[in-house]
Every structure is written in C-alpha cells, then in structure tokens.
Amino acid sequence: MHETARASLDVVARHLDHVLRTNEIPDYPGAMNGVQVEHDGPITRCAVAVDASLRTIEAAISCNANLLIVHHGLFWGGSQPIRGRIFQRVRRLIAHDIAVYASHLPLDLHPTLGNNALMARALELTTSTGFAHFQSIAIGVMGDADVETVTLAARCDALARREGGQLVAVGATPQRRTRRWALCTGAGASSDTVRVAAAAGVDTLIVGEGPHHTAVEASELGIAVLYVGHYATETFGVRALGEEIEHTFGIPWTFVAAPTGL
Ligand SMILES: [Zn+2]
C-alpha cells in the first residue's frame, strides 16, 4: 500500500512558474499565465487539457482532479461579467474545489516541455533555431531536413487524426522535397510568419491553423503549408506538464481530450 501523494497549489505553481519562466515570458493580456483560480487543496490529481471549457471542467470533475492545467485559460475573451457559461465554469470549479493553472506562450516555446519542441520531435525533425517571434521571443522552431514533403504531410496527418482532427496540406506535391522547415503551433500562420519563412529560406511551413490568405501568399512564394489543426498541435505541452508534476511531486494526472476538429 502506498500513501497518496499530495502537494499544495502554492508549491506546485511555484515549481511550474520557475520551470516555465512564467514571469519573464511576454504574452497576450488574456493569457493570464499562472494560477487563475485557487482552491482549498491540497492537490491530489491533475487534469490537463488544451482549453479551460465547461467540457474540460466536467471531465476534471469526473476524474476527481482538483487542479486543471490548461494552455488556453479562462480569460481569453478579456473582462466579461460572470454570467451564463462563464458563471457555469466558475461555479463548477469552486463547487468541486478545482484550481486552474494556465500556461500559454511559456508552454509553447519551452525547449523540453513546449508544444513546438515536442511536436518537432514527434515529426522526426531536428530543430536548429527559433522561428516566429512574439515581441523579442521566438515561439516556434525551424531546422533543415531532407524528406519528401508528402512524407512529412503523412506524419502530420497521423498526428492530427490521433487528436481528432485532420491535416489540410497546401502545395505538398509528389516528389517535392522539404529541405528547410519551420513550425509554429496553434494559430501559427499569418502574413507575418509566411513573410519571415520566405526570408529564412523555409520551403515548408507547419502550423496549427491560419487564415485562407496565408495559403494564397505561401503558394505564390513556393512554400508548402501543412495546417495540422490548432487543437492537435497544442496537446503536447499540457501532457508534458502532467508528466512533470507526476515526476516531481508524485501526483497522478489525466489528459482530458476535448477536440474541436479545428
Ligand atoms: Zn493556441
């Protein structure tokens, strides 16, 4: 028989803030990285999910978790009255003593726990440098390869399908080879990332999602774009945080799948 591991929210949050450099990494105001909701605790089980939604909160309740770790926190929409679905989220969290910890860009760019680093590894790509900056900080990664673009696209599609999505590949024509790639998870494609990719000699851009015009612009520049899905590309980091907490504190964790198909 073994004792159930537990730790206080303060201790776990301090550890995560340190590992993720939460206070040093700039982010969008709505990200509100760190503890978003407190609880009485102590933590006995973590649930990790991409989004803080009613669906993931219900799943956290079902698996008896009292810490929910997310990539997209409760405040993406900015200041809002605590009414309707927002009220339902807050009410469910407090009624079940569930704390919420969010990590957006600090988790995207982390060299060992981050969405970008782990997705590159899952695609069998070796990173050489950073790509796609927010303020002064590189969020994505890039590197050199020598692989058929359709082979890379097939790896991306397998990854997307594992997470309930599917790949949209633009310009991945047969026989074409990927020699320099760049990756930016989530909403990674923009006119800016396409322009930066072209300037860096990137021939294949791998992203979560992006607007239609990014496909048009990339085609004109001879860049293939693999849109793997916002959700699918951001399941890596929160899982890594679950493992990190189990490894450090012995607290068990559960990944809550809540794909949107996007
Ligand atoms: Zn995202």
For the segment 78-99, what is each residue's pLDDT rounded down to a tens digit? 889 999 999 999 999 999 999 9
pTM flag (> 0.75): yes
pLDDT band per the 50, 70, 90 thresholds, residue 77 = confident
Q: Does the pLDDT at position 141 exceed 50?
A: yes
The sheet with strand 46-51 has its strands ordered as: 34-37, 99-102, 67-72, 46-51, 253-255
User: What is the distance in A from the centroid of ligand 1 to the CA of 229?
Assistant: 10
Contact by Cβ (8 Å): 239, 48? yes
| DSSP element (H, E) containing 218 | helix 212-220
Q: Number of C-alpha atoms within 13 angstroms, CB side, residue 201?
A: 5
pLDDT band per the 50, 70, 90 thresholds, residue 1 = very low
User: What is the distance in A from the centroid of ligand 1 to the CA of 51?
Assistant: 9
Residues measured by CB to lie within 5 Å of ligand 1, the ion: 186
User: What is the distance in A from the centroid of ligand 1 to the CA of 102?
Assistant: 12
The mean pLDDT of the chain is 96
User: What is the distance in A from the centroid of ligand 1 to the CA of 235?
Assistant: 10
Structure tokens that stand for 134 in this block: 């927010």
User: What is the distance in A from the centroid of ligand 1 to the CA of 111?
Assistant: 17
Q: CA 33 to CA 129: how far, in whole Å?
A: 25
User: What is the distance in A from the centroid of ligand 1 to the CA of 71?
Assistant: 7
